[in-house]
Amino acid sequence: MNNLKSSRRQFVGSSIFGLLAVSIPNVTYASSIVSDAKLNPQPNNRYPSIDDEVVNEVVGKSHFDIDTVKKLVDKRPELARASWDWSFGDWESAIGAASHVGRRDIVHYLMSKGARPTMYTYAMLGAFDIVKAMITMTPGIELQPGPHGISLLQHARAGLRMKDTMSKDNINNSEKLIDFLRAFKAPDTKTYTALSESEKQKYLGDYRYGDGENDGFSISLNMRKMISLGKLGKSGGGLIRVEEHKFLYNGISSVYITFQLENNRVKSLTVHEPDLVLVAKKV
């Protein structure tokens, strides 16, 4: 009996030490997993590409918010070269965004971080000699629209929006470039057939092509009072009328939108892309 008790005590004791021997490393290992989880949060679904939300934010903020742009780009300078497709291939870079709104301060900051300036950037900066050389080397390039279909001449004009921060030479060069582009008959604004107020009202509203939360478009008026197409509940790119009830999307030459009417009321819209035709019904 004593031998049996002794054996039991030895078994329990050895079992406890055995459990401790097994559990202590496991606890340490488990702690390391928790610690690693804190150091390595779940990456975005496009990792190792930079998160789309961050790219969208830096390009969007480059239109007007230098403080947020600096906060994002100081931490990750690669974002100075970020580009975003607003819809249907309407690509815009961070420096392109700052360029067409005349934000010289944001443009100079992005360039200091590695952004690649384009002809439209130099037009906004009033770099007369550079823009002239580009046009001389590639005649007709001045007619190519920039982001959102905004012309080279409009970029040059935007360069004078921060006139109070510019030197006299900067101002003279910008004005010289504007005159130069006018002489080249570079387009000033997008050419389209204007819609009357009553015509605009026909198209306004939401259109759905599926049952998903985001399966649809909203047609609304943008800041320039043009009808525009965006995701449901959001603003989007301007629609340029080329024929009755037929529109180009924001200067994108390969995408157009048509509207279908019944008894003079809009019933649906159709998006025509090179490899896709999508119908959305008005709700």
Which pLDDT tens digit goes with each residue over 48-79?
Answer: 999 999 999 999 999 999 999 999 999 999 99
Q: What does the H/E/C string look like for the chain?
A: CHHHHHHHHHHHHHHHHHHHHHHHHHHHHHHHHHHHHHHCCCCCCCCCCCCHHHHHHHHHHCCCCHHHHHHHHHHCHHHHHCEEECCCCCEEEHHHHHHHCCCHHHHHHHHHCCCCCCHHHHHHCCCHHHHHHHHHHCCCHHHCCCHHHCCHHHHHHHCCCCHHHCCHHHHHHHHHHHHHHHHCCCCCCCCCCCCCHHHHHHHCEEEECCCCCCCEEEEEECCCCCEEEEECCCCCEEEEEEECCEEEECCEEEEEEEEEEECCEEEEEEEEECCEEEEEEEC
pLDDT-derived band at 7, boundaries 50, 70, 90: very low
Mean pLDDT of 194-212: 94
What does the block give as tokens for 273?
Answer: 């892309």
Predicted local confidence at residue 192, as pLDDT: 60
User: In percent, how much of the chain has pLDDT > 70?
Assistant: 82
How many of the other CB atoms lie within 10 Å of CB of 58?
27
Take residue 76 and report the two structure tokens written for it: 């990750």
Among 127, 170, 116, 120, CA closest to 142: 120
pLDDT score, position 41: 64
pLDDT at 229: 96
Decide if pLDDT at 6 tops 70.
Answer: no
* 76 contact partners, CB below 8 Å, separation of at least 6: 50
Mean pLDDT for 136-155 is 92
Q: Is the per-residue pLDDT at 148 higher than 50?
A: yes
Q: Which residues contact 177 (CB under 8 A, 6 or more apart)?
A: 123, 126, 127, 128, 131, 132, 156
Q: Examine residue 48 and say whether the peptide bond preceding it is cis (omega within 30 degrees of 0).
A: yes
Query: Which residues make Cβ contacts (< 8 Å) with residue 243, sequence separation at least 6?
Result: none
Indicate the range of 116-120, 182-186, 189-193, 263-267 predicted with least confidence.
189-193
Over residues 208-248, the pLDDT tens digits come to 999 999 999 999 998 888 999 999 999 899 999 999 999 99
Kindly report which listed range (40-54, 104-118, 234-248) carries the lowest average pLDDT score: 40-54
In which residue are the tokens 């007369």 written?
Answer: 128
- The mean pLDDT of the chain is 86
Check residue 22 and give its pLDDT.
44
